[in-house]
Structure 1
Amino acid sequence: MGARIVSLVNQKGGVGKTTTAVSLAVALARRGQRVLLVDLDPQANATSALGVLCSDRPGVYDAILDETPIAECIARVEEEGVDLVPSSAELSGAEVELVPVLARERRLANALQPVREQYDWVLIDCPPSLGLLTINALTASDSVIIPVQCEYMALEGLSRLMETLELVRRNLNPGLSILGVILTMFDPRTRLAQQVVDEVRGHFPQTFATIIPRSVRLSEAPSHGQSIFRYDPGGRSAAAYEAVASELLERVGVAV
């Protein structure tokens, strides 16, 4: 069986998806889990957030388009305890380049197969769209985690995401499930934020109990090429992602 492959997906940008992907990857690694983070977003934010320079090495583009063995594309991030398949700007052309490719939806799934036994978790940071890259991630995954920000119109677009998940289930990956919904950017000073929390929990019983607070430190950390656990280890954001990691491990039956 090997690693659990989980996509972090929401086609709406600015919901804390990359922050959650990086923070969760490092939080799981801190609990002794072997973690591979795949940066599938052409903006390469997860790559820069972990302080990796992608210009001098093959990355996810090479693995998907050129079928470079993924083992050659993995960068070890010693300071954070995780492995990373970096992204780069050239990935932005992949949506178009994949169109004529045979079995184009399965390129990432095929690429990950040889290294699956080496990890407990493979987390995929998806781009903020429902294009071919995201379809590749969903086809490769066992389940998805959906970050949702605690702001107005948070649920807008989620119905479209649900439709996409259903299409992928029907046509490409029947076993795909929702592992959880993570509420992000919570500001307790606004009544609206609590309304969003209640609404999301009403729609999605898989929502994690832990809520990620809105935090300046959390948004600063990537510019320093560090996870929140290195940048502000004693802060409430680090504690929140630690708690989400514990919930996640409990949810899949791993002793914590």
Structure 2
Amino acid sequence: MHKIAIYNNKGGVGKSTLAVHLADALRRLDLKILLVDLDSQNDCSLFLGLEEKPEKTFFNLIDYRYPADLKECIIEIRDNLGLLTNTNYELIEKDLHRATRIDNFLDKVFEKTEEIYDYMIIDCSPSRSILNSAILFYVDSIIVPTQLEIASIRGFSDIYNYLEDLDIDSAKVKLVVPNMFDTRTKEAEDNLNELKSIFDEDMITSPINRRTKITEASKAGKTIFEYNSDTQLEQFYNIVERVIELG
């Protein structure tokens, strides 16, 4: 199982949208995917049309008093796609502070998933937190979506400083996804070129164009694959190809 974190310390860059579409695209290739929604806003759950609050979530899975079984906490939200949501985010943080070691905490939590799923995709909150630290230790790869705005691009140094503080190899950052690319503006093109000057070419994926159809699909609880077939699909599939190359 290849474990991927979708992370940026800046909000509003499309993390949850990317996580949901990547998960949906991979499961359509007959791969078994576990999408773990550990963003405090639970946007992945919203974007996949989950209307009822689950009885058991990630919080119950790690509850040291009454731990739930993994199968009780995962919702089969689509064929080949399991969803693990979260509740009580602040209590999760408090419980993790009780952990003896944070660097291998999730290895034990997700031990049973290794033989079931081909990919685990974790949507992270845009922050430095003990939960995010545990996630970044746990995953094999980090994918960073970014808006093509100069503030977002300059914020990459904060991500690398965070990894350095945790003593995590920065090589875990495998892909950078330029998101919400506005083809009509020179600023977006200039910022894309700025991004390309910072990172190796093989780290940057094709940009995802700004499209109202993606927003409409998310509000409807669907992915773009389910909502409207257009050229936007090719952009996501290009990213999927890059992810599969990671292993």
Is the TM value for this pair above 0.5? yes
Partner of 1:225: 221
Counterpart mapping for 1:46-85 below 5 A:
46-53=44-51, 55-66=53-64, 67-78=67-78, 81-85=80-84
Return the alpha-carbon distance in structure 2 between the equivalents of residues 182 and 97 of structure 1: 32
Aligned to 2:207: 211
SS of equivalent to 1:211: coil
Cα deviation digits, residues 59-89 of structure 1 (max 9, x gap): 112223344232321111126x41111123x
Q: Does 1:199 align with 2:198?
A: no
Q: Report the more deviating stretch, 6-15 or 58-67.
A: 58-67
**Residue 147 of structure 2 corresponds to residue 149 of structure 1:** yes
- Assess, with a 3 A threshold, how the Cα gap between structure 1 residues 34 and 56 changes in structure 2: closer, same or farther: closer
Structure 1 counterpart SS, 2:180: strand
Tell me the secondary structure at the aligned position of residue 5 of structure 1. Answer: strand
- TM-score (normalised: structure 2): 0.90
- Cα separation, partners in 2 of 1:135 and 1:65, compared to 1, 3 Å: farther
Q: Among all aligned residue pairs of Structure 1 and Structure 2, give the percentage whose two residues are the same amino acid.
A: 29
Structure 1 residues 107 and 57: CA distance shift in structure 2, 3 A: farther
Distance between the aligned counterparts of 2:25 and 2:43, measured in 1?
Answer: 18
CA RMSD of aligned residues (A): 2.0
Once residues 224 and 96 of structure 1 are traced to their aligned partners in structure 2, the CA distance between those partners, rounded to angstroms, is: 34
| Superposition deviation, residue 94 in structure 1 | 2.3
In structure 2, C-alpha distance between the alignment counterparts of 1:33 and 1:225, rounded to whole Å: 22
Residues 176 and 204 in structure 2, CA contact (< 8 A), matched pair in contact too: yes
Q: Is the 1:154–1:196 contact (alpha carbons within 8 Å) kept by the matching residues of 2?
A: no
Which moves more between the two structures, 22-31 or 102-111? 102-111
Change (3 A) 1:12 1:175: closer
Query: CA shift at 1:222, angstroms?
Result: 1.9
List alignment gaps of at least 5 residues for structure 2. none
Query: Aligned pairs, how many?
Result: 244
C-alpha distance 231-46 of structure 1, shift in aligned 2 (>3 A): same
| Contact 1:208–1:247 (8 Å) recurs in 2 | no
Decide whether the 8 Å contact of 1:148 with 1:154 is kept in 2. Answer: yes
